[in-house]
Amino acid sequence: MSALTAAVTVLETGSTTGWKVGYVIAIVVVLVVVALVVPILLLAHRIGSQAAAIDESLQQSVTNTAGLAQLNTTIDHATEIIAGLTRGRQRLGG
């Protein structure tokens, strides 16, 4: 019976060794995933912070350039004024 007991002990030792190897592999995989995901999350946070500043700057640009929408109207009026001045000059003989 001692041979049978020795065989059972070897099988039990082998099965727990497999579990231990499995746990070690699982822990290594989890650590690798964490090591890859953490920098990505940090970059995403930094990009989010910069995006807010960029959006604020673009909103300010929209406010600062709103007057340019009327630029064509100003050009049209200036063209009419120049044409009127040219006609006046011609009538005065100049």
SS3 percent helix, strand, coil of the chain, rounded to 5, is: 95, 0, 5
pLDDT average, residue stretch 66-77: 89
- In the prediction, which pLDDT does 93 show? 83
If you count DSSP H runs as helices and E runs as strands, how many of each does the chain have, helices first? Answer: 2, 0
- In the prediction, which pLDDT does 58 show? 93
pLDDT in tens, 1-35: 565 565 555 555 556 788 888 899 999 999 999 99
